[in-house]
Amino acid sequence: MLYIVPTPIGNLEDITFRAIRILKEVDFILAENILNSKKLLNFFKIKNNILSYNIYNEHKIIFNIILFLKKCNNIALITDAGTPIISDPGFLLVRHCIKNNIKVSCLPGATAFIPALINSGFSINEFTFIGFLPHKKSKEKKIKTLCKETETETETETESRTIIIYESTYRILNTLYIIKNYIGNKQISICREISKKFEQTIIGNINDIIFFFENKKPKGEFVIILQGKTRTRGTERI
């Protein structure tokens, strides 16, 4: 069995009792970053074998992992924070397990975009998780396509999906500049450092948010929430 085990994205208390038990019982643990993961394992007194598994070595070691699993062994996959495979390594391993009739069990647990979406107050009837945007020219093209969904809709009974984007400290301002170019000074929501000491949610016009981060250096991982099209009839908001 391959267990996909979510780990805390900030507060260590966010891990589940089941996750701790699985990490203690499996034959060994695959971790995105061994040093980071050892801090978590040591905190919960989990003494187990740990092996590095990340985007740089997964193609090299995946065959041996599959062989190990075929011998009726159990492995847990964890990443630095949150649910593995969500903008983290692991998809390739799960796909190979399915092809080889190896059972996969994903435990429920921490992930950043759900709290950020709920904190925004925007519609949750339909939403799209984009994850991290591509780099350079592809990034602006992707943002342009996404922002078309946030334009105001008139004479309609439907509302488009809310859009969720992950962004890093170093790219957040550039991304906000590009979004502004396509949606203007509309309201958005930004969450940072979810479940950590300096957790923060900012909801407001994009100009105000840009001004805030221009004058206060951005820190941490960010979740950007773009509201879908607004339903209107004539001039009346619904």
Q: Kindly state whether residues 51 and 77 are assigned to the same domain.
A: yes
Number of domains in the chain: 2
Residues 126 and 100 in one domain: no
100, 197: one domain: no
Q: Is the domain of 81 the same as that of 12?
A: yes
Are 124 and 148 in a shared domain? yes
- Residue at a domain's end among 106, 136, 164: 106
Phi-psi region of 157 (alpha: psi -120 to 50; beta: other; left: phi over 0): alpha
Return the pLDDT at 123: 87
Do 29 and 47 lie in a common domain? yes
What pLDDT score does 158 carry?
55
Domain span including residue 30: 2-106
Residues in contact with 235: Cβ distance below 8 Å, sequence separation at least 6, in sequence order: none
pLDDT at 189: 96
Domain final position from 64, 84, 106: 106
In sequence order, the 6+-apart residues with CB closer than 8 A to the CB of 145 are: none
Q: Which amino acid is at 189?
A: S
* Of 53, 49, 35, 52, nearest in space to 94 by CA: 53
What pLDDT score does 152 carry?
A: 54
Considering the domain architecture, whether residues 87 and 140 belong to the same structural domain is answered as no
- Provide the pLDDT for residue 230: 57
Residues 117 and 218 in one domain: yes
Phi, psi of 112 (to 5 degrees): -80, -35
236 assigned to some structural domain = no
- Per the CB < 8 A criterion, the answer to whether 166 and 130 are in contact is yes
Q: Is 237 contained in some domain?
A: no
Give the Cα separation of 123 and 157 in Å (integer).
14
Token pair, residue 117, equals 């979406």
DSSP 90: -
Taken in order 52, 57, 60, 63, the sign of the CA dihedral is: positive
Does residue 58 lie in a domain region?
A: yes
Euclidean distance between CA atoms 235 and 187, whole angstroms: 19
**Residue at 23 is within a domain:** yes
Mean pLDDT (10-residue bins), the chain, 238 residues:
95 95 97 94 96 94 95 95 91 96 95 94 90 87 86 56 93 94 92 92 95 91 86 42
Question: Nearest Cα to 76, choosing from 112, 13, 24, 40?
Answer: 24
Last residue of a domain, one of 106, 121, 139: 106
Is 235 part of any domain? no
pLDDT of residue 136: 77
In the block, residue with structure tokens 């939403």:
127
Residue type at position 231: R
Q: Looking at the structure, do residues 127 and 220 belong to the same domain, yes or no?
A: yes
Same domain for 132 and 69: no
pTM: 0.85
With respect to residue 143, please indicate whether it lies within any of the assigned structural domains. yes
Residues 186, 212 within the same domain: yes
